[in-house]
Amino acid sequence: MGRPTRLVSDIDFDRDGKQVDWLGLPHSVTRSAYGRIMIPIACIKNGKGPTAFFMAGNHGDEYEGQIALAKLIRTLEPGEIQGRVIILPAANFPAAMDGARVSPIDGGNLNRSFPGDPDGTVTQQIAYYIDSELFPRADLFHDLHSGGGSLDYVPFASMHAGAGEELDRRCADALRAFAPDVALVWKLGQDTRYAPAAALHRGVPALGGEFGGTGSVNRKALAMVERGLRRHLMNMGIVEKPKDWAAAPPPRRVIVPGQGWFVYAPEPGLFEPAVDLGQTVKKGQLCGHVHFVDNPARAPVPCHFREEGIVICKRHFGRVERGDCVSHLAVDEPW
């Protein structure tokens, strides 16, 4: 047995029906001595069956997943399911209310905080609750991301490869069932500070995905998420499959082979990109220039792609510091 969580809730995960409630995280401040941070959670259950656990707002400025899960909470009824769906639509709640990647309370990045700490900071306590209370109940975990304010993405659903043959296969099955336009496989190694990697570490098939970015709401990607979540429930047998279930074509499969497919700003300044999102580039091709408006006589400094591939991610903000990611590639690798 691990140490107990400090989060309190009236949610009973074994009770049939739809419960939309909160996790109360004790947080004592000047304006509220015995106050709690109220993190929304829903549990929709009917009888025996598998459990799907969907999460968004791991990063607060990534909105497609938050909207899709709020809609699912309102529309999914216990009578149409067999099994259980647990939904955490704004996981790092202080960050979500701040429209920010990290928590305004402790600066915590929830997706670098697993497995968390029940006696740690607010963000570490949220991670601990998810890791110790929710992952053990799940048969599938899907963590919905977007690029946030600083990045823009070609929308995709994703999995991390390398969790072992059985988990890799179950993740790939779930990824295909979700039927995104693009299915991306990260091959960057397992870092269990990330939510999906922490779920995999507990033996739970886990997916991710970047469904847009720039701190805006991508309508096409939002539709992809809404459709995909319903497809998860059908694929798991929680919701009955429609007659045309087998008709979905396999999505385009791409991989991110390693850090060599990322490009970083070489200097602080203003970044002028030389490529567009979705474009195919060659090894050595120009990625962009950093300009120096504080010293306009200085020649702009270029940076280049070190590998070939598709521009799946681009920086959104014009200003860069040295070391900011300005782009990364993905490479076609069919199923």
Residues near Zn ion (CB under 5 A): 59, 62, 145
CB closer to Zn ion, 175 vs 281: 175
CB closer to Zn ion, 62 vs 131: 62
Q: Angle between the 219-235 and 64-75 helix axes, to the nearest 10 degrees?
A: 50
Smallest distance from Zn ion to CB 147, Å: 8
Strand partners, 257: none
Is there a contact between 206 and 175 (Cβ–Cβ < 8 Å)? no
Smallest distance from Zn ion to CB 165, Å: 28
Smallest distance from Zn ion to CB 14, Å: 31
Instruction: Tell me the DSSP string of 302-318.
Output: EEE-SS-EEEEEEE--S
CB closer to Zn ion, 107 vs 302: 107
The type of residue at 156 is F
The type of residue at 278 is G
Q: What are phi and psi of 11, to 5 degrees?
A: -60, 135
Q: Where are the alpha helices (DSSP H) in 27-164?
A: 64-75, 93-98, 122-129
Is there a contact between 183 and 175 (Cβ–Cβ < 8 Å)? yes
CB closer to Zn ion, 70 vs 301: 70
Strands (E), 189-321: 206-210, 252-256, 262-264, 269-273, 280-281, 286-291, 301-304, 309-315, 319-320
CB closer to Zn ion, 139 vs 324: 324
Smallest distance from Zn ion to CB 330, Å: 17
* Cα angle 4, 9, 13; round to 5: 90
CB closer to Zn ion, 195 vs 233: 195
Structure tokens at 191: 């870092």
CB closer to Zn ion, 291 vs 315: 315
Judged by phi (left if over 0) then psi (alpha if -120 to 50, else beta), residue 107 lies in left
How far apart CA 76 and CA 83 sit, in angstroms, is 12
Smallest distance from Zn ion to CB 312, Å: 15
Smallest distance from Zn ion to CB 200, Å: 17
CB closer to Zn ion, 145 vs 328: 145
Is there a contact between 138 and 196 (Cβ–Cβ < 8 Å)? no
Q: How many CB atoms lie within 10 A of CB 36?
A: 15
First to last CA, the chain: 40
Smallest distance from Zn ion to CB 93, Å: 15
CB closer to Zn ion, 72 vs 91: 91
Question: What H or E segment, with its residue span, contains residue 37?
Answer: strand 36-46
Smallest distance from Zn ion to CB 65, Å: 9
Q: What three-state secondary structure class fits 39?
A: strand
Smallest distance from Zn ion to CB 58, Å: 6
